[in-house]
């Protein structure tokens, strides 16, 4: 009789391994790592298992090249896909990753019909849509991780700019994960004070731009892949909110049916995350400028969805 929840992580690269690490360190669940590369998920799972005595966690980990050990997972995290290389746009990844993610969903959905699916593969919003469509799962149980990462970057840069603790900074990011994301300075605060009161328009503009380019900045520095510590931590925050039914308000890619004037697309918005997945989409009032930026972002997502002819 298994009491501990079970999380399957598909893709045992840096992001997947980081998700597994943070999940077991918080003792949120047992973890199964799956990857097509022989030995990779097994090796990383064993390494993390052997970390347990030192870090003091009892979560179990396993690695596999097939999907059978993922059966009856509470949550499945999909990180599989090609990583972005320098000079590569998120769209270059589109067709290759659609093929990879589609085949993952075909394996996952029948084995864990009650799971919540968290999608991390890029281009994020489109891959989340594809996962929802292919799985046939209700929209509440398919969610994309992007906004938590984007807002963490935004918060980091605001804290650096003002020389304050990141714990005092809350930041708000809407829209697709990529060049059209919509950081909202009026809803971004330091100890409750909107950053529009603390920073000039120019400085805010520069921070917003750096947030948009956050992924590319790390790709260009590393030269061999993309970010993984912060994306892994962002997924772990979602896993914790779901398994502990925290009802935490987090920015995630959710399927919209009229909210924010967007219909039939996955776009980043604040949602209440708890048991069962997305419990509510939180709608806030936008200025006409913010609304236009969100529409532009949604249009960019729709363009990619249309390319895939889903």
As a whole number of angstroms, the distance between CA 147 and CA 93 comes to: 20
Reading the block at residue 287, the tokens are 């200025």
* Count of C-beta atoms within a 10 Å radius of residue 58: 10
Where does residue 53 rank: exposed (0-12), middle (13-18), buried (19+ CB within 10 A)? exposed
Of the residues 153, 155, 177, 302, only one is catalytic, namely 177
Give 268-282 as a 3 state SS string: EEEEEEECCEEEEEC
Residue in the structure block whose two tokens are 């909202």: 184
Reading the block at residue 274, the tokens are 């708890």
Where does residue 306 rank: exposed (0-12), middle (13-18), buried (19+ CB within 10 A)? exposed
Nearest of 158, 167, 93 to residue 125 by alpha carbon? 93
177 in catalytic set: yes
* Count of C-beta atoms within a 10 Å radius of residue 214: 20
Residue in the structure block whose two tokens are 């709608």: 283
DSSP secondary structure letter of residue 196: G
Half-sphere exposure of 295 (CA within 13 A, CB side): 8
DSSP secondary structure letter of residue 91: T
Where does residue 215 rank: exposed (0-12), middle (13-18), buried (19+ CB within 10 A)? buried
Cα radius of gyration (the chain): 19
The 3-state DSSP class for residue 175 equals strand
As a whole number of angstroms, the distance between CA 268 and CA 147 comes to: 6
Residues assigned a catalytic role? 177
């Amino acid at each position: 009789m298994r009491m501990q929840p079970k999380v399957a992580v598909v893709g045992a690269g840096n992001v997947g391994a980081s998700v597994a690490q943070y999940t077991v360190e918080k003792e949120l669940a047992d973890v199964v790592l799956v990857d097509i590369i022989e030995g990779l998920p097994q090796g990383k799972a064993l390494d993390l298992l052997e970390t347990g005595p030192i870090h003091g966690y009892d979560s179990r980990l396993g690695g596999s090249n097939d999907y059978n050990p993922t059966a009856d997972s509470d949550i499945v995290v999909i990180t599989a896909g090609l990583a972005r290389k320098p000079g590569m746009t998120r769209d270059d990844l589109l067709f290759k990753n659609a093929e990879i993610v589609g085949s993952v969903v075909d394996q996952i959905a029948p084995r864990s019909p009650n799971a919540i699916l968290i999608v991390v593969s890029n281009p994020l919003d489109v891959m989340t849509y594809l996962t929802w469509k292919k799985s046939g799962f209700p929209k509440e149980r398919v969610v994309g991780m992007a906004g938590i990462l984007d807002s963490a970057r935004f918060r980091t840069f605001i804290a650096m700019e003002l020389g304050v603790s990141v714990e005092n900074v809350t930041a708000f990011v809407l829209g697709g994960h990529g060049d059209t994301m919509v950081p909202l300075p009026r809803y971004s605060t330091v100890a409750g004070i909107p950053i529009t009161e603390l920073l000039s328009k120019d400085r805010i503009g520069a921070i917003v731009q750096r947030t948009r380019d956050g992924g590319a900045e790390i790709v260009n520095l590393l030269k061999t892949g993309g970010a993984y510590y912060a994306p892994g931590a962002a997924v772990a925050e979602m896993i914790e909110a779901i398994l502990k039914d925290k009802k935490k308000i987090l920015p995630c890619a959710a399927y919209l049916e009229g909210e924010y004037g967007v219909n039939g697309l996955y776009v980043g918005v604040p949602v209440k995350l708890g048991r069962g997945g997305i419990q509510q989409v939180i709608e806030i009032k936008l200025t006409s400028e913010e609304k236009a930026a969100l529409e532009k972002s949604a249009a960019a997502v729709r363009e990619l969805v249309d390319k895939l002819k889903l």
